[in-house]
Amino acid sequence: MKLVTIEWKNNGIRIIDQTKLPAKLVFLQIKSLKQLWQAIKLLKVRGAPALGAAGALGVYLGVKDLKPRNAEEFKILFEKACRYIGSSRPTARNLFWGIERMRKVFLDNKAKEARKIKQALFAETKLIVSLDMASCRSIGLHGSRLIKNNDTILTICNTGILATIDYGTAAGVIYRSHEDGKRIKVYACETRPLLQGARLTTWELKRKGIDVTLICDNMAATLMKQGKISKVIAGADRIAANGDAANKIGTYNLAVLSRYHNIPFYIAAPASTFDLSIPCGRHIPIEQRAGSEVTDLFFKHPVAAKGVKVFNPAFDVTDSGLITAIITDKGVIRPPYKKNIRRKIGR
Ligand code: MRU
């Protein structure tokens, strides 16, 4: 069965409920904007590119049944829906990219009757979904050229089908290399506290027949020291104009370790993850999440002293100086990043 992480279906949004994986593959039908907001907050749907689609589909869901009395009222309600869904999670640039594309379509069509504006918004959601599918395949193609036969790749979090519409970014590079017949091995970091690597990456890589081995996050250094890793590839939630890249907490650790062990460290992300309005990673908003995610293993079993203080940032920022290259849908970007990002992604 082909997996589609998020799509418009039955007059609503259908997502795979990722909190149920790997035990059960459950689809969730989302009928309201509030329900989508909660699904994003709880990581039922997650991963930067999937959030881009969620933002756009959410905006459409929020306005499709409105019967505004006039254009002014429609604009106010539309903006309310945009701001509401944008308040669900702060870090992934793609979420805001999806919302901004919808906003542009609304403004370009604002002189039309509400029914026509809604049609244009729906068409934009379709375009965003197909753009994601195409950009992931393009990342896969460009990235796979960096992968050699018998490479062993270390990755973190989930950057595959479940983080996009149906393919993946960093995992897309792995999928494409596998499809091309290269013999590759993958080590997946479990990715504490919410275990996206253990629960999601191992599940989808195994489904695709990839040779994957799970490790605890604190085992990466040992693997590198033993010479078992030839490349590290991670995704990104937001990349600043100078190439600093925010991704799942623990990515920066891997970049520092890679530099020490002389291992190429790659970030893979579509153009929609770049935020050229910010000069460097210090400006990236980092989501802080509930301490219970750390103290109660996947919300179920206590693993820490009751009431202990917790530090739980969901993302960290890897300095561009530690990144060997950024694999994008527009090609592979190498240092100097400031100049080359503008040239390739430039908006
Ligand atoms: O908190 P999550 O699970 O949404 O974090 C996701 C990541 O950090 C991914 O690596 C990133 O979004 C890139 S996904 C292609």
The CATH number given to whatever domain includes residue 212 is 3.40.50.10470
57: alpha, beta or left? (left if phi > 0; alpha if psi -120 to 50): alpha
How far apart (Å, rounded) are the C-alpha atoms in residues 265 and 258?
6
Q: Which residues on adjacent β-strands are paired with residue 234? A: 267
Which structural domain range is residue 93 located in?
Answer: 6-137
Kindly report the backbone phi and psi dihedral angles of residue 95, in degrees, each rounded to the nearest multiple of 5, phi listed first: -60, -45
Which one of 110, 137, 164 terminates a domain?
137
Which one of 103, 137, 171 terminates a domain?
137
pLDDT at 258: 98
Q: Can the peptide bond before residue 285 be classed as cis, meaning omega within 30 degrees of 0?
A: no
Q: How far is the CA of 314 from the centre of ligand 1 (A)?
A: 9
* Nearest residue to 165 via CA among 121, 207, 212, 128: 128
Q: Does any ligand 1 atom lie closer than 6 A to the CB of residue 169?
A: yes
Which one of 117, 137, 157 terminates a domain?
137
Residue nearest to atom 10 of ligand 1 (CA): 235
Q: Does any ligand 1 atom lie closer than 6 A to the CB of residue 157?
A: yes
How far apart (Å, rounded) are the C-alpha atoms in residues 340 and 243?
9
Q: Are residues 185 and 267 in the same domain?
A: yes
Q: Which among 40, 196, 298, 329 is the best mutation to test ligand 1's pocket, defined by most ligand atoms within 8 Å of the CB?
A: 196
State whether the Cα torsion 45-51-55-61 is positive or negative. negative
Query: What are the pLDDT tens digits along the chain (347 aa)?
Result: 899 999 999 999 999 999 999 999 999 999 999 999 999 999 999 999 999 999 999 999 999 999 999 999 999 999 999 999 999 999 999 999 999 999 999 999 999 999 999 999 999 999 999 999 999 999 999 999 999 999 999 999 999 999 999 999 999 999 999 999 999 999 999 999 999 999 999 999 999 999 999 999 999 999 999 999 999 999 999 999 999 999 999 999 999 999 999 999 999 999 999 999 999 999 999 999 999 999 997 767 888 888 999 999 999 999 999 999 999 999 999 999 999 999 999 85
Contacts 24+ apart (CB under 8 A), 61-66: 61/12, 61/13, 61/30, 61/31, 61/32, 61/33, 61/36, 62/33, 63/118, 63/121, 64/118, 64/122, 66/114
pTM of the model: 0.97
Tokens of 256: 């520092």
Q: Are residues 187 and 298 in the same domain?
A: yes
Q: Which among 46, 157, 329 is the best mutation to test ligand 1's pocket, defined by most ligand atoms within 8 Å of the CB?
A: 157
